[in-house]
Amino acid sequence: AELEDWTRAHHEGIHESLGTGASEENLDSAEMALGVTFPPAMRVLYRLHDGQTLSFDEAEDNGRHVPGISIFHGLLGSYAFYDHMVSVRLLPLHRIVRWTAFFKDRRLVPEELMETHILLATSPGFQKRFYLDTSTGQVH
C-alpha cells in the first residue's frame, strides 16, 4: 500500500504504469521459460505488481518508435545530463522473459552470469540494465 500511496501522491504517471499482480501460474511459467527459480522477494513483488506497463513499450511492440511522456516514468529512477536521459522501469514478466532471452542469445550477458541472472529493469534503449541474480536475490 505504501508504494501505491507514494506514487499516487508524488508521481501519478508511475502510479498508473504499475501492473496488476501476476498470478502464481504466471510466475511459474516465467521461471520455466527462464530456467531459474525466483527469489521469494521477487515473487512477493510481482504478486503485487507485474512490473510497469508504459505506452512507449507498447508502441515499440507494434513497430513504432513513439517515446512520449511515459519514457520518464521509470520506477527505479531517472536522471538527465545534457542530452543523455535515463529512466529505469521495472519490467513485467513477459518482457523479462523476452529481453533476457534476447541478451543471452546474443551473448550480451557475461558468460558467468548466463545461468543465474535475468534482466529485471532497464532504461529505454537499454543504456542501463539491471540484472537480478536469482541465486542470491541481489540486483546488479
Radius of gyration (C-alpha) of the chain in whole angstroms: 15
How much is the pTM? 0.86
Packed helices 24-34 and 93-105: angle between N→C axes, nearest 10 degrees: 0
**pLDDT score at 25:** 98
- Per the listing, cell 542501463 goes with 128
The whole-number mean pLDDT for each consecutive block of 10 residues of the chain, a chain of 140 residues, reads 84 85 97 97 95 76 63 76 82 96 90 91 88 95
- Per the listing, cell 498470478 goes with 23
**pLDDT score at 83:** 77
List Cα–Cα distances, 52 to 16, 31, 86, 112, 136, in angstroms: 9, 19, 16, 28, 23
What would the pLDDT profile of 85-94 be if each residue is shown by its tens digit?
Answer: 778 999 999 9
**pLDDT score at 116:** 95
**pLDDT score at 19:** 87
What would the pLDDT profile of 32-63 be if each residue is shown by its tens digit?
Answer: 999 999 999 999 999 999 999 877 677 666 66
**pLDDT score at 27:** 98
**pLDDT score at 24:** 97
